[in-house]
Amino acid sequence: MAPLLKDELDIVIPTIRNLDFLEMWRPFFQPYHLIIVQDGDPTRTVMVPEGFDYELYNRNDINRILGPKASCISFKDSACRCFGYMVSKKKYVYTIDDDCFVAKDPTGKDIDALAKHIQNLLCPSTPLFFNTLYDPYQEGADFVRGYPFSLREGVPTAVSHGLWLNIPDYDAPTQLVKPRERNGRYVDAVMTIPKGSLFPMCGMNLAFDRELIGPAMYFGLMGDGQPIGRYDDMWAGWCVKVICDHLGLGVKTGLPYIWHSKASNPFVNLKKEYKGIFWQEDIIPFFQAAKLTKECDTVQKCYISLSQQVKEKLGKIDPYFVKLADAMVTWIEAWDMLNSKDSKEADVANGKLKGK
Amino acid sequence: MAPLLKDELDIVIPTIRNLDFLEMWRPFFQPYHLIIVQDGDPTRTVMVPEGFDYELYNRNDINRILGPKASCISFKDSACRCFGYMVSKKKYVYTIDDDCFVAKDPTGKDIDALAKHIQNLLCPSTPLFFNTLYDPYQEGADFVRGYPFSLREGVPTAVSHGLWLNIPDYDAPTQLVKPRERNGRYVDAVMTIPKGSLFPMCGMNLAFDRELIGPAMYFGLMGDGQPIGRYDDMWAGWCVKVICDHLGLGVKTGLPYIWHSKASNPFVNLKKEYKGIFWQEDIIPFFQAAKLTKECDTVQKCYISLSQQVKEKLGKIDPYFVKLADAMVTWIEAWDMLNSKDSKEADVANGKLKGK
């Protein structure tokens, strides 16, 4: 059983509506502190079910806390959630979308997604060599014959990427082509994504170690005033994976599943995505070729170096990437501002909307 | 459903005993031609159940067919099976150990392992980018959001690596430490091993495309007269993966499962493995760093280039690797001898022991 990291984990939820979905999660989430990032109209009231311990930030709060640096936080896009990563003071973060419900395992039992994420984060990853029996640290599994003994200690796990039953995380073209496709396949596995391999990180059901990788979990500039949406988590995933590979950290994917209830509108999605569909053909080779030097020995330094490479290499594709590269720097400045030693005390007096 | 590749696939079985295990496989294997490689004493008679179409080679046959080049085929070790890959004239090979039985899926249905391997080999692989919902070509699955469209055609699949329920494929130290561990986890997934990532390839339940990768499926020098055993399939797997990555071919792992009935003796295994346990600490970095030039545009050329690098780099560790490097060259010579256009007709008159 995974330990209850009550004082070491925050749950970050971006939303524009009342959080009724929390009722179903109550047995699993209630011991934890929630950070709710309210998107859109800040005058609207978001209702949180009774009994949850939470703080809530709307756009006015973000602007007040970050000042001019608030420009790096997206508006009218769930990318705004990364503000929650920044204000958390905990070691771990779990983030989930408000249309995700508790899934059932093949025996019909409710899946405690958070407990599984904690288990994933607390045991090592194996990015340097592939283990054919999946996560070797899992009960009943191990390293197979031929797995080098020197690599069996593994590396610290920075990210646990969970999956989705029912509505799969498809792009707009696939949604349009396969409107009825549902994911019913419960794959009972967790695995490390090998070093050097990029993956499409989805922010729907995602946990990470803030201390190890937090400053790279920037969800970019999306939504209002930007030429693109729905690439927030992808952008973060590419940056995170390159930095994890460089710093010797692990990224796991697989279990736990959540139940994704409702497909978003594919026509709206296509509008948000279509530039990304072109751009990713250049972005991915860019990240595959990105180089970080030995001097980049912290996440922040890695991230700043990536931002420079983004400006230089991707800036040629579209001026958007110059703006994004600048926002990446602003994000790190804001992160360090809120996460310096001094900031912790200042933060207490910061006038947050504090829940019960 | 996978097609029945009756005229395009051989099943290769290395053995020292009567092949009673085939009875259980009859519904699945009987349509196919078997190539049995009899290890050990050639005067012993190996009994094959009635009704199977097979050819059988013992050591005398190997020596007669290959002449001095027979030195590259191991004796008293299941590595001898690779002789069967060489004499096959089919496009695909499936190889299985004679202590592997039909496994059941979670619904209790017998698993037709061969049909699943064929399905794996006939659909593409995706080594260039990780798909979080596993094999995107599978029924009910697809590429997830953020997967570049230019990579969705995939690459040809050269290898399908199947897994094992019951007795997992552990090395001697793990067997000794966990004598009671059994693999009961049925993971309903097939995945591509990403480019640049090595894996421990097990020969127990393995299918491959001979035309695409056959000449690299050499199981090395093991057993009688050699300082090492139980690294035959590992050696092949390292070479195969490096060459697949270079030539743009895919390696899949996961389904299908077979039921592995009996753990081999861990004390005997330790004796066979112990040098390998040291050596693999150097061999794996060697293969991770191995370079193949543009001129290496066939499997044979790649393999000869690897043999040169083995001699140069690993020869320093132990004289065994010099001998192995020479055997790699002999293997390619023997392969080409048996697989040239002319050899096909010569082969018919070759005096093989032919089954019914």
Dist. CA B276–CA B232, nearest whole Å: 10
Dist. CA A201–CA A221, nearest whole Å: 16
What residues in A contact B194, CB-CB < 8 Å?
193-194, 196-197
Q: What is the mean pLDDT of residues A212-240?
A: 97
What residues in A contact B147, CB-CB < 8 Å?
171, 200
Q: How confident is residue A346, by pLDDT bands cut at 50, 70 and 90?
A: low
Judge whether residue A2 has pLDDT over 80: no
Task: Compute the half-sphere exposure of residue B186: CA atoms within 13 Å on the CB side of its CA.
Answer: 16
- Residue A355: predicted pLDDT: 43
Per residue in A262-273, pLDDT tens? Answer: 888 999 999 999
- The percentage of residues in chain A with a pLDDT greater than 70, rounded to a whole number, is 96
Question: Helix, strand or coil for residue B296?
Answer: coil
Question: Helix, strand or coil for residue B238?
Answer: helix
Q: Residue B129 and residue A199: Cβ atoms within 8 Å?
A: yes
Dist. CA B259–CA B104, nearest whole Å: 8
Dist. CA B290–CA B284, nearest whole Å: 10
Question: Helix, strand or coil for residue A165?
Answer: strand
Per residue in A52-106, pLDDT tens? Answer: 999 999 999 999 999 999 999 999 999 999 999 999 999 999 999 999 999 999 9
- Check which CATH number belongs to the domain holding B147 and give it: 3.90.550
Q: How many domains does chain B have?
A: 1
Task: Compute the half-sphere exposure of residue A45: CA atoms within 13 Å on the CB side of its CA.
Answer: 3
What residues in A contact B135, CB-CB < 8 Å?
none
Q: How confident is residue A5, by pLDDT bands cut at 50, 70 and 90?
A: confident
Kindly state the tokens that stand for A10.
Answer: 């925050």
Residue B52 counted as domain residue: yes
Kindly state the tokens that stand for B275.
Answer: 């040098």
Interface test with B, best of A144, A232, A284 (most B CBs within 10 A): A144
Q: What is the mean pLDDT of residues A13-17?
A: 96
Judge whether residue A353 has pLDDT over 80: no
Residue B355 counted as domain residue: no
Give residues 93 to 132 of A whose Cβ lies within 8 Å of B: 106, 129-132
Kindly state the tokens that stand for B200.
Answer: 């421990």
Judge whether residue A210 has pLDDT over 60: yes
- Residue identified by tokens 């299918």 is B207
Query: Which of these, B246, B240, B193, B200, lies nearest to B218 by C-alpha position?
Result: B240
Residue B16 counted as domain residue: yes
What residues in B contact A179, CB-CB < 8 Å?
none
Mind listing the pLDDT tens digit of every residue in chain B (356 residues)? 678 788 999 999 999 999 999 999 999 999 999 999 999 999 999 999 999 999 999 999 999 999 999 999 999 999 999 999 999 999 999 999 999 999 999 999 999 999 999 999 999 999 999 999 999 999 999 999 999 999 999 999 999 999 999 999 999 999 999 999 999 999 999 999 999 999 999 999 999 999 999 999 999 999 999 999 999 999 999 999 999 999 999 999 999 999 999 888 999 999 999 999 999 999 999 999 999 999 999 999 999 999 999 999 999 999 999 999 999 999 999 999 999 876 655 554 454 444 43
Of A106, A130, A170, the CB nearest to B199: A130
Residue B160 counted as domain residue: yes
Residue B344 neighbours by CB distance under 10 Å: 11
Strands B250-260 and B92-96: unpaired
B270 in contact with A, Cβ within 8 Å: no
Q: Residue B185 and residue A188: Cβ atoms within 8 Å?
A: yes
Give residue A150's Cα distance to chain centre: 31
Judge whether residue A281 has pLDDT over 80: yes
In angstroms, the Cα distances linking A256 to A206, B139, B181 are: 10, 22, 24
| Per-residue 3-state assignment (H helix, E strand, C coil) for B319-350 | HHHHHHHHHHHHHHHHHHHHHCHHHHHHHHCC
ipTM of the complex in this document: 0.94
Residue A306 counted as domain residue: yes
Interface test with A, best of B129, B131, B132 (most A CBs within 10 A): B132
Residue B245 belongs to domain spanning = 9-340
Dist. CA A3–CA A289, nearest whole Å: 39
Dist. CA A307–CA A315, nearest whole Å: 10
Residue A351 counted as domain residue: no
Per residue in B91-146, pLDDT tens? Answer: 999 999 999 999 999 999 999 999 999 999 999 999 999 999 999 999 999 999 99
Residue B351 counted as domain residue: no
Which residues touch B135 (CB under 8 Å, ≥6 apart)?
B123, B126, B141, B189, B190, B191, B192, B252, B254
> Helix B113-122 crosses helix B22-29 at what angle (to 10 degrees)?
40
A180 in contact with B, Cβ within 8 Å: no
What residues in B contact A143, CB-CB < 8 Å?
170, 174
Residue B60 counted as domain residue: yes
- Residue B2: predicted pLDDT: 76
Judge whether residue A228 has pLDDT over 50: yes
